[in-house]
Chain A
Amino acid sequence: MIAAAPRRKPSGLSPGWGLSAYLLASIVLGLLLLRWQLGQGRAEAESVEPRQFVTPLWTIAIGILCNVSCAVLGCYLVLRRMSLLGDAISHAVLPGIAIGFLLTGSLNGWPILLGAMVLGVLTSVLTQAIAGAGRVAEDSSMGIVFTSLFALGVILITSLAARAHIDPECILYGQIEYSAIDLPPPGGWQVPRLAWRLGAMLAATLLFVVVLWKELKIVAFDPALAAAMGFSVPVVHYCLMSMVACVSVSAFEPVGSILVVAMLIVPAATASLLTDRLGWMLAWSATIAAASAIFGYIAAAWLASSVAGMMAVAAGVQLAGAVCLAPRHGLVSRWLRNFALAVRITGEDIIGRLFREEEAAGARSQESRVREQEMRNKGQETEPPPLPLSPSPSLPSSVPPLVAWLATWQLRRRGWLTPFGGLTDAGRDAARSLIRAHRLWESYLDTYFDLPRDHLHDAAERMEHFLDPELQADLDAELAGRAVDPHGKQIPPATSAGASSPVPTDSGKH
């Protein structure tokens, strides 16, 4: 549907609460685990000195700075379905580093970043050029471009390695373990040099996102609209690509080129499962990236493993958790929602069936119905005469027993079903609304669509569960108060109070 969906009502907690709770829990749990780890293997009497925290905390901080800048930009890549371009760029910037090094003889500073930006844009341009000019599928052309550039970079770097202090393995794997020890000379602030650089990179990334917020957003969600509104999509695209290249390069030293991919894509993909709003997605992505840094470090220290590798694994674990447990898009919650819907529909099918049986019985014994009506008119509140009902309404055999049992239990709890399996008054009202929805829909389909008669029932059987009184009134108005459905059955009138409608009013789209 094109029409804008109504803003969802916040259910209980605002999204900020979950996010803050997750962040806080990660930090507290991380500190506790770290404390426990440092206390391992020492005598009871010895206490952990604050000094020992410094190196691990700086390592974690560097990891957080690096991961968060990757994760923030990664959101846009994931939204634009260009995750793999991020992968390609993070491999393809290698020659840029080599050339920058060749020109300046230093591995730090602007020339390297500039070289990376050029290569980042070049990767994107070449991919599109080969895909366009050669009529090659985009993924093949991307694969060719980035493996070629990567090979070129490896060759340049290995031939430089003899002269320079570059270790190809370091560029691939990262050496976050040693970065926290790389301190400036004593005196003044004892902040690792890498932390300064990555902090600056993170600040630049955030600035980029804030300044180009509107442009990035519209290009991410609707490039055609962006073009129509006069934004230059390619300019925004290439800005994003050069930022990705810069971030990849500055992340090489701590996490290595290949794991940049994990940090670009995994937190953003996880965040996309947790929220539907861009701002919250960025926040979630950053939080997950930070948590990956914390727990990745702890796991690596515990197992004597690679910090960068464990950070990727920690991100993967969070992705798996979100796939299962995310509140709206997770597998468990989706399964639970479907189950609850199945229970509701089964329950409504039961009362609908009971109502139809009562109706049929009522038609058979018209006089008894008249008598009942008379008694009602006199104001005598007696229970209705016993109706010939089967004690347990038969259901289609496809309904699992658990669903049927839960549906019956739910009907009893609501007081719609008597202990003997008949309908209570409230239940009858609910069933009447349901049958009304069914027959209104059949009449509507019959009036406005050219469908054969025997095709009406199944469609209405599905729709009846989703027509709330408001929609029923609309349909009624459309049908100009039609009294019987196409099969000649009476359309029950609307119940006076909508309170006992079987359809919860907030059950929206399906």
Chain B
Amino acid sequence: MLGLKYNTLIVLAGVSLLGASAGMIGSFAVLRRRALTGDALSHAALPGICVAYLILRERNLPAMLLGALASGVVGIMVISALCRWTRIREDAAIGSVLGVFFGLGIALSRIIQGLEGGGAKAGLDSYIFGKTAGMTRGDVELILIAALAGLAVVVLGYKQFLSISFDADFARSLGWPVYRLDLLLMSLVAVAVVVGVPAVGVVLISALLIMPGAAARFWTDRLATLLIVAGLFGFAIGLVGTALSATFLVLPAGPIIVLTGTALFLVSLLFGTRRGLVARVIEQRRFEGTLGLRRLLRAAWETRTSAGNARFSRDDLQARLAWPTRKLAVLLNRATIGGHLRPVGAGHYALTSAGEVEALAVVRGHRLWEAFLTAYPEQASGAANLASLSIDEYVSPAIAQELTAELKLAGRWPEGAT
């Protein structure tokens, strides 16, 4: 098929599936700020594998996976016990468990190597970097089963997971068993880690857990979309990374896959539509433009009113706004193109009729805001984004009328406004 060898197809399928499931499950770890717990978990799984091997004295995949899962979960429980019962804080607890469990794993694996010579360590030496090329059909089936099981749990508990991911206190107030749901989530992470470690290795599996979720966060604000996007990202990372590593055979596959993920993350960081840097810069610029135009119109209206003359010069505006010349020029240009101002002679402008209406609305809104915040200063913090909000959306009509009357009394009400 497609001229690819059977082995390559198996590896491609396995790593992509693994990426998809780790990406989806890992999104929860990212949202719950447990990203590094996954790292600790993957390290803590090593002693379990070794103990299973020491007991059975043979390479038995299910037993070793169970051992890994068990010691990973024990590691998680030790972390939470240390945080709960002693003064050791979470970061030190995670680090301690990671270091000690991994040390134990290395010590045990060295004992195993000593027992029966070099051949016996099969399966353990690939724990660090992973052995992507050695993936078999059985491994892929296992990954598929784990991925489907994870998907099923996520779909069934979607509502609960949604609320503990974003607001654990709220979930607790609804009476949901937050601690047990958390443990369930971490067990899902543990399953993904345990089936994934043989493929990409212990350090790099945490990259597969974190990167898709963190990258997907730049593209969406909805959990369902986030999970799907993260799954797709994981899938893509696995596919592209494996393909790349098949091209550069000299290099280990695990790190190549991780660097593919890094590239995807960086692209999302820059170009993500919701939170990406470029999107945010564009948004910021557009906002500043709108704001600037409004200030320009207000200055134009005020200059004209105070001078009692329909036309006003650029220098008048400059004196009122104290903007850099360049910014003023750009905005004047934009207002002219937008049909709010029209040039009258050299360096002089007048408001068009459309500009007149717009300027009046802007001035009215501004004066009402001023009056409102003078009368109710304690509300300033409540209206977080004052500049983008229209006063009529924020205050009730009764208060607006009251403020209008006040302004009229003070003689600051713009003539002609409704």
Contacts and interface: CB of A to CB of B under 8 A. Distances in A.
A416 interface: no
Interface in A169-197: 169, 172-173
Interface stretch (B33-41, B62-70, B362-370): B33-41
A144 interface: yes
Interface in B75-133: 82, 85-89, 91-96, 98-111, 114, 125, 128-129
Contact of A148 (B88, B251, B258): B258
B160 interface: no
Interface string B185-207: 00000000000000000011011
A262 B258 contact: no
Nearest to B263: A148
Contacts of B93: 269
A319 B96 contact: yes
Interface stretch (A80-88, A385-393, A455-463, A478-486): A80-88
B23 interface: no
B100 A137 contact: no
Given A137-B30, A140-B210, A315-B100, A306 B89 contact: no
Contacts of B39: 87, 143
B35 A155 contact: no
Given A151-B259, A155-B259, A143 B128 contact: no
A476 B113 CA distance: 75
B86 A323 contact: yes
B269 interface: yes
Contacts of B231: none
A406 to B, nearest CB: 25
Nearest to B89: A81
Instruction: Categorize the interface residue count of chain A.
Output: 35 or more
Given A84-B91, A331-B85, A265 B214 contact: no
B178 interface: no
Nearest to A263: B99
Nearest to B38: A143
A272 B261 CA distance: 38
A148 B259 contact: yes
Interface stretch (A127-135, A343-351, A426-434, A496-504): A127-135
A264 interface: yes
B239 interface: no
Given A144-B211, A258-B102, A316-B103, A83 B94 contact: yes
A310 interface: yes
A289 interface: no
Interface string B211-236: 10110011000000000000000000
B104 A137 contact: no
B106 A308 contact: yes
A443 B293 CA distance: 66
A31 interface: no
Interface string B242-273: 00000000111011101101100100010000
A304 B113 CA distance: 10
Interface residues of B, number: 63
Nearest to A276: B87
A304 B111 contact: yes
Given A83-B94, A147-B258, A331-B86, A309 B36 contact: no
Contact of B255 (A81, A155, A169, A258): A155
B311 interface: no
A190 B302 CA distance: 89
B314 interface: no
Contacts of A151: 204, 207, 254-256, 258-259, 262
B268 to A, nearest CB: 9
A65 interface: no
A309 B258 contact: no
Classify the interface of chain A: helix, strand, loop or mixed. Answer: helix
Given A143-B35, A261-B98, A266-B100, A150 B106 contact: no
Contacts of A268: 92
A261 B102 CA distance: 10
B54 to A, nearest CB: 12
Contact of B275 (A91, A134, A155): A134
Given A91-B203, A147-B206, A261 B95 contact: yes
B277 interface: yes
A262 B207 contact: no
B88 A133 contact: no
A278 B96 CA distance: 20
Contact of A84 (B38, B94, B213, B275): B94
Contacts of A269: 88, 92-93, 95-96
A152 interface: yes
A124 to B, nearest CB: 14
Contact of B82 (A144, A148, A323): A323
A204 to B, nearest CB: 23
A498 to B, nearest CB: 34
A229 interface: no
A252 B36 CA distance: 22
A313 B259 contact: no
A158 interface: yes
Contacts of A83: 91-92, 94-95
Contacts of B85: 323, 331
A152 B100 CA distance: 26
A154 B261 CA distance: 15
A154 B129 contact: yes
A273 interface: yes
Contact of A155 (B98, B217, B256): B256
A155 B102 contact: no
Given A265-B95, A273-B86, A312 B277 contact: no
B91 A82 contact: yes
Nearest to B211: A144
Nearest to B100: A316
Interface of A: 78, 81-84, 86-87, 91, 130, 133-137, 139-144, 147-148, 150-152, 154-155, 158-159, 162, 168-169, 172-173, 258-259, 261-266, 268-269, 272-273, 300, 303-306, 308-313, 315-316, 319, 323, 329, 331
12 contacts: A84-B94, A84-B95, A87-B95, A143-B210, A144-B265, A151-B258, A151-B262, A169-B128, A259-B99, A304-B110, A305-B110, A319-B100
Given A81-B89, A312-B99, 15 more contacts: A78-B89, A135-B275, A140-B210, A142-B36, A144-B262, A148-B207, A152-B255, A168-B129, A259-B99, A261-B98, A261-B99, A309-B103, A309-B105, A312-B106, A323-B82
Interface of B: 30, 33-36, 38-39, 43, 82, 85-89, 91-96, 98-111, 114, 125, 128-129, 203-204, 206-207, 209-211, 213-214, 217-218, 250-252, 254-256, 258-259, 261-262, 265, 269, 275, 277
Query: Which 10 A/B pairs are nearest by Cβ-Cβ distance?
Result: A312-B103, A262-B99, A316-B100, A309-B107, A151-B255, A309-B106, A147-B207, A265-B95, A151-B258, A306-B110
